[in-house]
Chains A and B, each alone.
Chain A
């Protein structure tokens, strides 16, 4: 608590629905509130689903952009 953690990275490139969401959920469970998770996916479905997942569970989707066919997300864990 209080200390600033380095963001944790998660690579789900090449994996399709629903595996990226399952891996995000698992990764978030290991983090503290307000910790940051950086996720990379290639599944176009994840763009919509990550937004819904974060909204449903109260996580903050800080950034969300595409770069060279890779979708990149920065998720801040809910408090």
Chain B
């Protein structure tokens, strides 16, 4: 029953490098689902991924720039966002609001909810020390209960892990 404590428990690490609302989903969805399947999960947040460890997550946005794959359903059609659009002040904020409404309407969990679910299921969150120094972020800027570590911390976990992902 208690697979997490047994020797043959499976484990997964995820390197989280992106700090946008849309890219916050894949790592948290995989982490929470893996944890539900009794996989021990370690998430290593580096560079822009550190944004996902901030106490509040209201600041997460999506960007229309360089994303030809983004087709927002709108009035029964799909609307792509030309790169030029993101040059308009407030365009990203508007797209973010649209995305958040869409997420709510479709019953998709919010990022704060998924992060909470990850913590509840004992997913270990690690903030990258070097990136924190680079961007002058303090431990107080980030949520409580996380581990701080560097590349060696990650490697030690990755070497013992069954699955290692870079997102």
| Chain A interface residues (CB < 8 Å from chain B) | 14-19, 21-22, 24-25, 42-43, 53, 56-57
Contacts and interface: CB of A to CB of B under 8 A. Distances in A.
Contact of A21 (B33, B38, B106): B33
B71 to A, nearest CB: 18
A53 B37 contact: yes
A21 to B, nearest CB: 5
Nearest to B108: A16
Nearest to B106: A16
Interface size class of B (residues with CB under 8 A): 10 to 19
Interface string B2-40: 000000000000000000000000000100110011100
Contacts of B113: 19
Nearest to A79: B1
Given A53-B37, A56-B37, A57-B37, A18 B107 contact: no
A19 B36 contact: no
Contacts of A19: 109, 113, 117
A53 B36 contact: yes
Given A15-B109, A16-B107, 18 more contacts: A17-B29, A18-B29, A18-B36, A19-B109, A19-B113, A19-B117, A21-B36, A22-B32, A22-B33, A22-B36, A22-B117, A22-B121, A24-B36, A25-B36, A25-B37, A43-B107, A53-B36, A56-B37
Contacts of A24: 36
Nearest to B33: A18
Nearest to B31: A18
Contacts of B106: 16
Nearest to A17: B29
Interface string B99-139: 00000001111000110010001000000000000000000
Contact of B107 (A15, A21, A25, A57): A15
Interface string B53-88: 000000000000000000000000000000000000
Contacts of A22: 32-33, 36, 117, 121
A56 B38 CA distance: 10
Contact of A14 (B32, B107, B114, B121): B107
A22 B116 CA distance: 12
22 contacts: A14-B107, A16-B106, A16-B107, A16-B109, A17-B29, A18-B29, A18-B32, A18-B36, A18-B109, A19-B113, A19-B117, A21-B33, A21-B36, A22-B32, A22-B33, A22-B36, A22-B117, A25-B36, A43-B107, A53-B37, A56-B37, A57-B37
